Structure 1
């Protein structure tokens, strides 16, 4: 059984402190709402990363409102009273059904302003490496809202990510995954650009990714 040792927690604390810095006011002079999110770079024994395809017309990048469906890493909101690790364990169970997982290092974080269900929101995301021997995704525990926007899961090799013709957020995920696989991402955490990438060709994903959900 893989275990979460909780090692290197100091790095997670540093990232969390950075994200707690005061947010700039909105045009109305009021503080923008903050949404803390924990995300996972979830790798299987073949070093394929699990991504989830999302289509959500209720969440919009304020700079690029025409965003269509896109691929992201699994994860979700850190609920009040939860640590990032506790949130990750809950999200893993809800979004994948996996129980046999190892939660490793924090490898980066980023911020982006979104229109979240009609409300200006500063989304603050922190990324962790997660490993699992399980590969068959089970989404039965997803909430109805999660099921509404979910368009399926796929395992992507690094080659798949590098040649994918569909939108992936963050755009630098292929480079980040390569660093994780090579061990470089564990040396220091980074600031991750969460902005919506420029539009890409609507062609189907090329490579040997395996659809699982």
Structure 2
């Protein structure tokens, strides 16, 4: 088995009414490091990126997958997680919520995710350890006027 994971994945940049970004907080026990990233994950067989983004949002946050807009940017990713290197292009989608800090219920996490999950935050300012490191630019690209 290769040490590099190139499987396709999709993520969702969730913004509340005040522009806060939803970040999931994970702990990589192998690297001993905290990671903050938008919800998302790999595609299931036969699934489109948009379908995966909607499914992952619902599974990881309990927020409605229908909130994910058919609007995305492609992001080059090169990171390590639990001893594996992930080298891929991920599609980051946008979801907007009318409320302030909608409640998050990560009720459908996998066993691996449950052991690494440390919580979430609706961030006004992106914390150290955010992935991808250029998430602020990703948010700008997703929210830019498409004209």
TM-score above 0.5: yes
In the other structure, the counterpart of 1:41 is 13
Deviation of 1:76 after TM superposition, in Å, equals 0.5
Deviation of 1:71 after TM superposition, in Å, equals 0.9
More strand by share: 2
- Specify whether residues 138 and 68 from structure 1 end up closer, same or farther in structure 2 by C-alpha distance, changes over 3 A only: same
Gaps of 5+ in 1: 1-29, 59-65, 188-213
Q: Distance in 2 between matches of 1:168 and 1:142?
A: 20
Equivalent of 1:176 in 127, 138, 147:
138
- Specify whether residues 31 and 91 from structure 1 end up closer, same or farther in structure 2 by C-alpha distance, changes over 3 A only: closer
Q: Distance in 2 between matches of 1:141 and 1:31?
A: 27
How do 1:1-213 residues align onto structure 2 when only pairs under 5 Å count?
A: 33-58=5-30, 68-99=33-64, 101-112=67-78, 114=80, 121-133=86-98, 135-157=102-124, 160-161=125-126, 164=127, 166-181=128-143, 183-184=144-145, 186=146
Q: Structure 1, residues 133-189: CA drift from partner, whole Å, max 9, x if none?
A: 4610001121221111111110012xx12xx4x2211121123324444x25x47xx
Q: Distance in 2 between matches of 1:170 and 1:118?
A: 17
Aligned residue-pair number: 143
In the other structure, the counterpart of 1:192 is none
Alpha-carbon RMSD across the aligned residues, in angstroms, is 2.6
**Post-superposition, which runs of at least 4 consecutive aligned residues in structure 1 deviate over 6 A?**
none
Q: Structure 1, residues 25-78: CA drift from partner, whole Å, max 9, x if none?
A: xxxxx89542211011111222211001111235xxxxxxx5611211110011
